[in-house]
Structure 1
Amino acid sequence: MHISLRLLRYFVAAAETGSTTAAARALNVSQPSISVAIRELESVFNEALFTRGLGAGLIATQFGERKLSEARQLLAVAAAFEADDGGNAAAGEVRLGVFTTIAPVYLPSLLRIAQQRYPKLSIRCEEGDLAQLESRLQSHRIDLALTYDVGLPAGIERECLADLKPHALIPAGSRLGKTRGPVSLRQLVKEPFILIDLPYSREFLLAPFWQYGLSPEVRYRVASIELARAMVAEGLGVALLITQKSATMHTPTLVERPIREETVRQPLVIARAAQALHTRASQLVAECIHAAVQETLVRRSGRPRTGETPIAAPGQPK
């Protein structure tokens, strides 16, 4: 049995694009080349890798999903092997997933730091919600994820970057917004509540209230921090967030306030599948993630905010 890297690349491209035509376009090869590669692999395994969905799209079988995960791992190993050609260990490609709500806060700094330190290092980014990132890690579609440690299973390794405490978004012109200092959950629960309604997110944003036997009136459900901030700025209610604003998010009509009560803190982590290859490139990206998170937390006030505890990267000063 002989399976080349070319066949694996064609197989992965077909699975990720959902068609042989799209895969051929992505790899700049002929469509029959993709079809032949799939048939060769199915002949080797004597089992189907795909079924045809509506519109003749390719859908991986259960067997195909398992082989897809293995193919991605093998290609990652090959890419890491090639990246060290000529002694240049600061090269290669890393597939990074980033939780949608935190991408604007940390990703720009991360990419800038990586470009400055390791210009030959390539980072391919994908945004996703918590459930999507978990799935992509387990299927080896991504190598690392910058995310919150919410609902991650035992098969996912975590490296903690910071412990973050929830904070409130309040309309600046409201009675509550004109007060100073921390606000109480009991004060917030009296206001209309705007909830970030994403898988897992909704639960950990409501958990601080539940911790004190409170239940806010959810008036609006949104899918992005930007929309939540805009609605608070219009005086439509209050919101609770873990993610701090990015450097470009300045809205004078809303204020951010710490929570008075001690609540469960949310770990910000680098996550990877337990069986994932620890390449030199992925280690360098993890180093850049640490630097970006610490830079972002310190930049806001000269030191981490109360409830924000950055954790040094391995080998870095504590």
Structure 2
Amino acid sequence: MAITLRQIRYFVATAEVGQISQAAIHLHISQSSVTSAIQELEALLGAPLFIRSPQGMILTDSGRHFLNHAYSILRSVDDAMKSPLPDNTASGSLRVAASYTVLGYFLPHHLQRLSQSYPGIKIHVHEKERAEIEQSLVEGEIDMAVVLTSNLRHREIAYETLFGSVRRLWLPARHPLGERTAVNLAEVANEPFILLTVDEADKTALRYWNQSGRKPNIIMRTSSIEAVRSMVANGSGVAILSDLVYRPWSLEGLRIETVLLMDHVPAMNVGLAWRKGVEFTPAMEAVREYFRQSFLAPQLSSGRR
């Protein structure tokens, strides 16, 4: 008997929410179907993937190890379904800049796909901060950028937003607020708060906090997403970060839960940027078309060149 995508999807859903009942709700199937799929998977792998407890489903060491492979499998299947056909005629060199968050949590996977889809295009990537990216685009030092478009400020920059990554409250496992379907910032203000500073995340956070009329109880400011992840997981505090950088486990193997926010907290928008009026090269057109086919809905949500 071979492992199926159904088993892998049900396993991942259960690992992410920590409960078979909640996984079944998200998947729109019965609990028994989820239970059977996990049992079949454990039998095939010859190892328990979860510890069953009254609090929910806790991944074993084998489960955590297999979860990484499960994510890779599902990502590969998704890539195969969405990948544009290779264009062997597109060629050229492209200078691309990216900010820390985009380069660390989004771009490498797509650089690999781009190299397969457009083998004639040589992409040179540079990590820069937002202001430096804008200046480099205006001065022609780089051709395009993959950035947090919600942070862009320069009037000479055009952009297309590819997707918005929802920001949620991050909590340690079994936190009282984790039992809620949604919370407001007034409730979060009572918790010790860890503020991420990289890619101007602190400026964005303080804007929506100010608009709410509340103040976060900041106990630490850090540019390290992994530091935030570890501190939340070990119960030192809570944070508000986007789904793009969310992982259900800290480096120590402790679980992180997320809860929706009722207040208006803007999504973290990711997209492409270039200098207004620039003449697109074949390489620029090919890369933009790749990202459009991969992400954009029929209606584009952006500025134009």
For Structure 1 versus Structure 2, the TM-score category normalised by the shorter chain is 0.5 to 0.7
Q: How does 1:1-318 map to 2 (within 5 A)?
A: 89-148=89-148, 149-177=150-178, 179-198=179-198, 200-242=200-242, 244-245=244-245, 250-251=249-250, 252-292=254-294, 294=295, 311-312=297-298
Residue aligned with 2:205, SS: helix
Percent identity, aligned pairs only?
27
Change in 2 beyond 3 A, CA 1:180/1:249: closer
Task: Give the superposition deviation at 1:215.
Answer: 0.9
Could you tell me how far 1:139 is from its partner in structure 2? Answer: 2.8
* 1:34-54 Cα shifts (integer Å, max 9, x gaps): xxxxxxxxxxxxxxxxxxxxx
The alignment of Structure 1 onto Structure 2 pairs a total of residues equal to 210
4+ runs of 1 displaced by more than 6 Å? Answer: none
Q: 1:116-145, CA deviations, whole angstroms, 9 ceiling, x for partnerless residues?
A: 211222121122332232232223222111
Cα deviation for residue 213 of structure 1 reads: 0.5
What is the deviation of 1:312? 4.7
Per-residue Cα deviation, 1:66-120 (whole angstroms, up to 9, x for no partner): xxxxxxxxxxxxxxxxxxxxx9641112111122113233213311321221122
Amino acid at match of 1:224: S
CA-CA distance at 1:184 after TM superposition: 1.8
Contact 2:249 2:255 in 1 (8 A): no
TM-score calculated relative to the size of structure 1 = 0.59
Secondary structure at the counterpart of residue 277 of structure 1: coil
Task: Supply the distance in 2 between the matched residues of 1:208 and 1:184 (Cα, whole angstroms).
Answer: 12
- Asked whether the equivalents of residues 212 and 263 of structure 2 are also in contact (C-alpha less than 8 Å), the reply is no
- Stretches of structure 2 lacking an aligned partner (at least 5 in a row): 1-86, 301-305
Q: Secondary structure at the match of 2:283?
A: helix
- Please tell me the residue identity of whatever aligns with 2:263: E
CA RMSD of aligned residues (A): 2.6
Report the CA distance between 1:279 and its aligned residue: 0.8
Distance 1:313 1:198, change over 3 A: same
Structure 1 residues 249 and 287, CA gap change in structure 2 (3 angstroms): farther
User: Matched residue of 1:270: which SS?
Assistant: strand
Contact 1:205 1:241 in 2 (8 A): no
Other structure's SS at 2:216 match: coil
